[in-house]
Structure 1
Amino acid sequence: MKVSVLVLNFLPLIVFSLLARVLPSNGIGVAGLVAAVLALGALLLSRPILPPKIISVLSLVVFAVIAALGLTLGRQDDARLATWGGAGVGVVLGLLILALVPVMPFTEQFAREQVPRSAWGSPTFRRVNRVLSTAWGVAIVALGVSRIVAASLERFHAIEVIFGLILPVWIIVQMLRFTKSYPERVAHGGAGGGPD
């Protein structure tokens, strides 16, 4: 699976997280709109375009809802949405990814672009994608929880930076490494466990 293609599909979440941190609280609707447009772009740029990538569809829906709420709510509600919605979006996306693992692990769509059709039904292919999608779902929930902790401790700047920036970046880097190494380990006989 190409990690760069996966990153493109997570770009809306990354950009939203950054914009939610740097824009004033009344900019959460703009952050959601930018992320929704990026998710739509990822949908349109993915090949094959059908079936659409699950992660891009989920991102488009979640960020469109945040954009609509952020652009229509009053100032006080907008500030709450910026603080808690901006942090909670990772939890929502992660839980949606986890809920879909038994039906269609989202990584399977990307893996099918690299693996011959004859291998799609193999137990190893299915297991690898269930493990990868589960790991990504858990990691994204952890990102959301980390951002919630950062939002609740924002008056302690150093702790807020650790939970709001350093830990999320570390989680993403570890997941990209795991996504690249896990299928290779399985292919060479070492099914291995979780992220490094």
Structure 2
Amino acid sequence: MARQTATKAPVRKPVTTGGVFLSFAPWIIFGVVAGPSTWEYAALAALVASIVLSGQDLLHGRLRVLDITGIVFFAVLSVLALALDRAQLDWLEQYAQVISNGLVAVVALGSLFTDPFTAQYAREQTPPEVWDSPVFRHINRVLTAVWGAAFALMAVSTWLAVRHPAQDDWFNWVVPIALLVVAVKFTARYPESYKARTT
């Protein structure tokens, strides 16, 4: 019998593990764990998570603004925790979550003026010929703006938690979690919804 030769399916470049949601994981870990007496441990946990989740990508030269920002920010916090005494870190204990949420918002919204940060992840799952298309650019501008707005509102919410300790559960937990859920669901649905409207 003639031997049949199997045709090989084209090999697709695998999607890297450092997706947009995983890039947010260290920031979420920090937001969940950080508190007046635990922010040092939260910073260390977030630093380890940042390195583990993005290490493979960094080794292959895939530099993403959110990953780099996370590693630098949590490394700086960890160094400050070791170098300064508690009296000098009082302001940081109070406002660590506000600062981290505000920083993500600034990075996300600032990237709208150069390269929307979500586009860095979208390019890993789309062919190069669509990267300069109006649809691709529009979707990533919108998604980046939504995430930036979500973290800006989370910064305001965690600031209100500091100012109004009696409402701490609402401002530190309920509102931020609700904002994250909205951003995640919007990210999952908007691209296909927008493409359906434009075709």
Give unmatched runs, 5+ long, in structure 2.
Answer: 1-14
Give the drift of 1:108.
Answer: 0.4
2:178 aligned residue (164, 170, 184):
170
Correspondence 1:28-177 to 2 at 5 A:
28-46=39-57, 49-154=60-165, 156=166, 159-177=167-185
Q: Is the 8 A contact 1:28 1:67 kept in 2?
A: no
Give the drift of 1:50.
Answer: 2.5
Q: Distance in 2 between matches of 1:19 and 1:79?
A: 17
Give the drift of 1:105.
Answer: 0.9
What TM-score do you get using the length of structure 2 for normalisation? 0.84
| Same amino acid, percent of matched pairs | 29
The AA in structure 2 aligned to 1:108 is A
Counterpart of 2:190 in structure 1 is: 182
Give aligned pairs, total. 184
SS of match in other structure, 2:124: coil
Give unmatched runs, 5+ long, in structure 1.
Answer: 192-196
Q: Is the 8 A contact 1:88 1:144 kept in 2?
A: yes
Bigger Rg over Cα? 2
Write out per-residue CA displacement over residues 44-97 of structure 1, whole angstroms, 9 at most, x where no aligned residue. 144994221221111111111222222222112223211112322101221122
Give the drift of 1:115.
Answer: 1.2
Q: Distance in 2 between matches of 1:14 and 1:102?
A: 25
Give the drift of 1:190.
Answer: 6.3
What TM-score do you get using the length of structure 1 for normalisation? 0.85
Q: Is the 8 A contact 1:107 1:133 kept in 2?
A: yes
